[in-house]
Structures are given as C-alpha cells and as structure tokens.
Structure 1
Amino acid sequence: MKEISAGGVVYCKKDNQLLIQMIQDRYGKMTLAKGKMEPGETIEQTALREVWEETGITGTIKEPIEIIKYQYSKLNSGVIDKEVHYYLIEAASGELQAQIEEIRGVEWLNPIDAWKQQKLGGYHNNHSVLLKALDKLGIKVE
C-alpha cells in the first residue's frame, strides 16, 4: 500500500529577520507541518492545507524541496510505502496556532535555532529537508 503526504518548511520575514516554523508533534519530536493527501487534492494543495490546519498559517509555495520515502508498518494494513513531498512555503497570513488534536505546539524560530531543534529533537529524515530549505533561503548551517 502507498501513502502520499505533503508539507513544507514555512518561513516568514518579520522586522527584517528570517524565521522558520517548527512544530512539536504529539510524540514530542520537532518536525515540519505535513499530512496525508485527501481524495481530489493535488500534492501542492495537500501541503498548503496541512500547514494551515496544523499551524493556522496560510502560505504560498515557492518551490519544491525534496521527496522523502520510507516504510512503516500499520496494524491490519501491513507495510506502508510512505512518500512525503516537502515544499518551501512563504507565510502569507494567519495567526500561529497549534492544531491541538494532532500537535503539541508550533513556533517561529531563527534559522540557527530551527536547525539546532531539528538536530537535537527532530526526525532524522527531516535533516536534509531543512538543510536544503535553509540553503534555498541563503542560510548556511552546520
């Protein structure tokens, strides 16, 4: 079985400072907004909907970042082939607000702090996604 999800690295510029959105998921891990594709949606629509649902922010896709693939097991379904499409998304409007049914929190961080949070408490397969997004934004880390 195949499952497609989409999300993004959301950024904004506030007071001439670049900020990156990070969420804390229900397991306490730092991650990026993403979720499953719904029937009739494009992958890009899924990414924007998931960012809005999870964080309260609407945005504009600037460019693709990366597609990550992995497998996981699901009770009664067996092995799932997961494909997650990540985009660089510029925040347009909205109030930062966590979707408490799915995540614990959401915040804006400067790029260096976002990278530190990712390294210390994020999912390993998001390392390259965030690195590529920061590079596209002209930020070098590590």
Structure 2
Amino acid sequence: MAIIEPVTAAGGVVFKSKDNSDPSVLSIFRRGVWDLPKGKLEEGETIKECAVREVAEEVGVSALPEIIFPLPETYHEYEQGGIHFGKSTHWFGMQFPDDVELTFTPQTEEGIEKVSWISLKKAQTLVGFENLSKVLKGFEQKYRQHTT
C-alpha cells in the first residue's frame, strides 16, 4: 500500500454580478484546462489567509479578495515525482472590493496562461476537473442564498 502524503490547499470562486444577475467567476487557464485559483497552505498561515493570498498571486493582483462565504472542500489524489499526494482544498466564495481597479497578470511560473471573467453557466461546462464542477454547483447554491 502506497503512503499518501497529505497536502492542504485553499482557493476561491471569485465572483462579480450586476443587479443580482447570473454572476461571472474568475477563471484561470492552466496546462490546457480552465481551472479556479488555488494553492498550497504555507507554514504559519490560516486556511483563509492561504485562500486570499493564492487567488491574488495566481491572477496577479495586489488587492486581496474578501471572503464572502465558505464552500465545500474537495479532495483528490495525484502522483508527482514518484510521491503519492492526497490534496484537500478548502474553497470560499470571494469578491474583490468594488473600489479596486483590477488588471490581471497570469502567474506564468505556475503555468497560468490566461485569467478571465466567465459566466457561471459557461464556467460550469469549461472547468477541466470534475471536482471543480462540484465546487461551482456548491457556489451557485450559496450564491442564490446570499443574494435572496
């Protein structure tokens, strides 16, 4: 039986909407698939600190998004360099403050080629991983509760 090395990560479904219409979510294009910004927890930081830091780093902005509500956690396993990892990712619904001017610069050292606002409906069909579809479905439910 292989030993699974645990990894803790956090990220966000960053959203914007006008007049409670269907939201757009901030998506990243990395290694040939659409993804959501996330990354590994660093020593000494909280899960929430990790989530906002990773989102800001991966989309290349200095402003930190604000956590609006928690989302379901995901888990997946992968192999890298002969090591088997089990990654738990904590997700949050987030928004950037309204008064912040945003210009995105993809974090190319993480393999990110594009950063784009995509409608939630379209993002649900574009994301390249099944667990992200579940994250977006959970986001949609929380968003509806949040806006009604």
Q: TM-score of the superposition, structure 2-length normalised?
A: 0.81
| Map 1:96-135 → 2, pairs under 5 A | 96-102=104-110, 103-118=112-127, 122-135=128-141
Q: How far is the alpha carbon of 1:95 from its aligned partner?
A: 2.2
The Cα offsets for residues 20-77 of structure 1, whole Å up to 9 and x where unpaired, read as 111111x11111000011111101000000000011252111111111112222225x
Q: C-alpha separation between the residues in 1 aligned to 2:109 and 2:19?
A: 32
Secondary structure in structure 1 of the residue aligned to 2:71: strand
Pick the aligned partner of 1:91 from 87, 96, 104.
Answer: 96
Q: C-alpha separation between the residues in 2 aligned to 1:15 and 1:115?
A: 21
The Cα offsets for residues 66-102 of structure 1, whole Å up to 9 and x where unpaired, read as 11112222225x2212111111111223322211222
Any stretches of 5+ residues in structure 2 without a counterpart? none
Q: C-alpha separation between the residues in 1 aligned to 2:86 and 2:119?
A: 33
Any stretches of 5+ residues in structure 1 without a counterpart? none
Pick the aligned partner of 1:79 from 69, 80, 84.
Answer: 84
User: Runs of at least 4 residues of structure 1 off by over 3 A?
Assistant: 14-17
Q: C-alpha separation between the residues in 1 aligned to 2:20 and 2:46?
A: 33
Pick the aligned partner of 2:42 from 13, 38, 42.
Answer: 38
Q: Which amino acid aligns with 2:48?
A: E
Q: Which residue of 2 aligns with 1:2?
A: 6
Counting aligned pairs with the same residue, the percent is 31
The reply on whether 1:63 has 2:72 as its aligned counterpart is no
Q: TM-score of the superposition, structure 1-length normalised?
A: 0.84
Count of aligned positions: 134
RMSD: 1.9
